[in-house]
Amino acid sequence: MIVTGALLLIWLFCLPERLFTDPTSTVVYDRNGELLGASIADDGQWRFPHNASVPYKFKMAIIQFEDRTFEWHLGVSAKGLCRAFWQNLTTGEKVSGGSTLTMQVMRMSRKGQSRNMWQKMVEIFWATRSEWRYSKDEILALYASNAPMGGNVVGVDAAAWRYFGRPADQLTWAESATLAVLPNAPSLMHPGRNREQLLTKRNRLLDRLYEAEIIDAATLALSKFEPLPEKPHDIPKVAPQLMNRIIQDGRKGQVVYSTIDIAAQERVNAIVTTHHQRLSENEIHNAAVLVMDVESGDVLAYTGNVPDGKPEHGCDVDVITARRSTGSILKPFLYAAMLESGELTPQMLIQDIPTVMSGYSPKNYNLRYDGVVAADDALAKSLNVPLVRMLTKFSVEKFHYLLQQMKFGTIDRGPDHYGLSLILGGAEVTLWDLVSAYGMMARSINRYPEYGFGVNKKAHYLLNEEELYAEKPILNPASSWFTFEAMREVARPEDDINWELFSTSQKVAWKTGTSFGFRDAWAVGCTPKFIVGVWVGNADGEGRPGLTGRETAAPILFDVLSALPKSDWFKKPYAEMKEADICVNSGHRAGEHCAETSKRLVPKSSLNTIACPYHRQLFLDQTGTFQVNAACYDMALSQTRNWFVLPAVAEYFYKSHDPNYQSPPPFAPDCDQSENPDILAILYPRANSEIIVPVNFRELQEKIVFEATHTESGMKLFWHLDDTYLGETENIHQREFTPEPGEHLLTVIDETGRSAAVKFRVVGKN
């Protein structure tokens, strides 16, 4: 009685909690269950994770081949054991084991055990217990997932891909029969050996399936004509960087169903491959593309690097998660933030003049200045100087806080660390964060006002890790809409003849960026349906001539957008807009002296901006030739005229590209004009700047050219450096001089006594 009780307890607790603990491959599927890729397990085996579903054809084949009484025995087949004992006895050698499928599962789980009578008894003991723990389908699934299939292939799922290049549930009867006979003799699966023996076993099993009336005669005949598999197929590698990211995210050895659309992924891969062939001629070896669905935040394509690249060029690096210098790619966020804060109207004029701020002197990419430029045009042309002046007005601290709110996790230092360079590439971001941030802006427009700002999924690539949260837009929908409108006007490269056709077929908001030293080229494009982000460069940071967002990343962007379904443009969020009187010349809210105005929709917040500061009411003499004031003229005889007046420096550059601009008339000779601060300005040197005086090939010091401007032509200017008089100029206001190292004060005075002065420092001579 005690022995029986002890045996019962041993039987109840004999099975380990998990029968199989072998490492498994990481397997990644797309949103529709298509295989994107798999990694080999840590022990060098192609062993897919456990699959509870066994394909019907394999199930029928393995039962007929290994265990015809599987469905009703209790783990052991007495008939099978007796038959095996008799066959082994009469032949004098072991020709049959008599094991059921359940016993074989137990043997596979007990790796390394010798195959003797004692171990056979243990297998029987475990098999009877497992029939009480597991259902028949679960036992069969354990077998299908762990059966040796030849070489380093384990399990039906891995074998189907390695030997036939497709999923197990899509195999034919002949292919399923081939896999069913392999665990019995896995060494038969060798392209150069044992082919006849394997073919004989397979066909014998097909005959048995026909005899059991599982397949018909036609299927039997056709199945026997099918060839055996040759050398193993490569497992798909459609998104290898995504595979690596999933492993790094703690999903190693698991089955992962991603949000990727394999059709979109393959198209993007092909586009990147095509462009890589051209880019590699210029020693540009890496590129990455991320495609995101706006509404859901689902990542549809994840090409972390060029598919055909070489490891020595860093093509295994996942650039989507790499920190890279931003260039100008963050400028739209500043434009939108200033609209939101009521510091900007969409077309407000911003000064575009030589600028030094806190020792920082930005330059436009074309090394030219427009004097003044509309804010939306400055964004479309990606002009550095106006955007730096905008950032100065908005403040680095506020912009830094906005970027952190938008989840730019790599902007992880304080605002003082970045300074004004934050808008021109002084920070680093990832392509993942960039696309997510633009997606947030697009989603805020799409969901307003019909859907509100309720629950939404975070940007993600795993269907089984959806994280819901209440998404409140960081930027107002109206601000985002006007930003995207400005981004529609970005000039496109001339060398792509298809771009003009693209622009007529679909509207897209897009922006490029190029980091200092031509190391990183960016492009991002937004439609109501999709956000596409592109990075091009070298993973090791090597810069290359011509590596710009406009010339290298943008062509990839538009090829990808062309391959995606088209969509209409964003609907206007009217409830967040108001109609306002806007000055046609300045883009500001119309002031009382604006000569021409128009009614335009602007964000509600733009109603808080200042009225137009450029239009003034001038008092002119009776002839309209001179400006006058009460100190020098009978104002009863004067006439008034509203005039568009730019500051002297802005006018100097603005007149070079707008010949229609008219300077205001000069003051009458005997009129005091000292109260007008915008008539005279020093162009060079700039206030508080540092100058290095160069040395020529004769080792003589070069001269510095000082330059000034005056709104009245013909006015004489008198130049003073510290206490030294340098001379006078007329019409062309330039003077050459070689100042000594140290602090200096340059003063320029016109004939009326109006003056301008700047301090600067000469730091040395080269």
Give domain limits for the chain: 2-22+37-225, 680-765
At residue 466, the pLDDT reads: 56
Q: Each residue of 518-565: pLDDT tens digit? A: 999 999 999 999 999 999 999 999 999 999 999 999 999 999 999 999
Residue 433 neighbours by CB distance under 10 Å: 21
Q: Each residue of 5-31: pLDDT tens digit? A: 666 666 666 678 888 999 999 999 999
At residue 684, the pLDDT reads: 80
- Of these ranges, 75-84, 101-110, 508-517, the one predicted with the greatest mean pLDDT is 508-517
Instruction: Please report, to the nearest 10 degrees, the dihedral formed by the alpha carbons of residues 275, 281, 286, 289 taken in order.
Output: -10
At residue 740, the pLDDT reads: 83
- 449 upstream amide cis, omega within 30 of 0: yes
Average pLDDT of span 308-316: 87
Read off the pLDDT band of 715 (50, 70, 90). confident
Instruction: Please report, to the nearest 10 degrees, the dihedral formed by the alpha carbons of residues 150, 153, 157, 163 taken in order.
Output: -60
**Nearest residue to 483 (alpha-carbon basis) of 297, 326, 337, 328:** 337
Read off the pLDDT band of 89 (50, 70, 90). very low
Instruction: Please report, to the nearest 10 degrees, the dihedral formed by the alpha carbons of residues 717, 721, 725, 730 taken in order.
Output: -20
The CA distance from 148 to 164, in Å, is: 16
CATH code of the region 2-22+37-225: 1.10.3810.10
- Of these ranges, 197-206, 347-356, 483-492, 706-715, the one predicted with the greatest mean pLDDT is 197-206
The CA distance from 508 to 534, in Å, is: 15
Q: Each residue of 365-416: pLDDT tens digit? A: 887 889 999 999 999 999 999 999 999 889 999 999 999 999 999 999 999 9
Three-state SS at 237: strand
Average model confidence (pLDDT) across the chain: 86
pTM equals 0.84
| Tokens representing residue 242 in the block | 């995504």
C-beta of residue 185 within 8 angstroms of C-beta of residue 172: no
Helices (H), 37-116: 56-66, 78-91, 101-109
C-beta of residue 364 within 8 angstroms of C-beta of residue 424: no
C-beta of residue 530 within 8 angstroms of C-beta of residue 564: yes
CA distances to 325, 530, 534 from 518, in Å:
10, 28, 15
User: For residue 652, is pLDDT > 70?
Assistant: yes
**Nearest residue to 423 (alpha-carbon basis) of 533, 515, 524:** 515
Letter string b/e over residues 277-298, b meaning 16 or more CB atoms within 10 A of that residue's CB: eebbeeebbbbbbbbbbbbbbb
Percent of residues, the chain, with pLDDT higher than 90: 55
User: For residue 442, is pLDDT > 70?
Assistant: yes
C-beta of residue 292 within 8 angstroms of C-beta of residue 531: yes
Read off the pLDDT band of 241 (50, 70, 90). very high
DSSP-assigned states of every residue in 291-359: EEETTT-BEEEEE-S-TT--GGGTTTS-GGGS-EE-TTTTHHHHHHHHHHTTS--TT-EEEES---BTT
- Give the type of residue at 519: R
Read off the pLDDT band of 497 (50, 70, 90). very low
Phi, psi (degrees; rounded to nearest 5) at 731: 70, -65
User: For residue 444, is pLDDT > 50?
Assistant: yes
The CATH homologous superfamily to which domain 680-765 belongs is Immunoglobulins (2.60.40.10)
Q: Between 591 and 91, whose confidence is greater?
A: 591
- Of these ranges, 74-83, 343-352, 707-716, the one predicted with the greatest mean pLDDT is 343-352
User: For residue 242, is pLDDT > 90?
Assistant: yes
Average pLDDT of span 55-59: 97
At residue 679, the pLDDT reads: 76
Least confident of 98-112, 460-474, 619-633: 460-474
At residue 11, the pLDDT reads: 64
Phi, psi (degrees; rounded to nearest 5) at 469: -155, 160
Read off the pLDDT band of 3 (50, 70, 90). low
Three-state SS at 549: helix
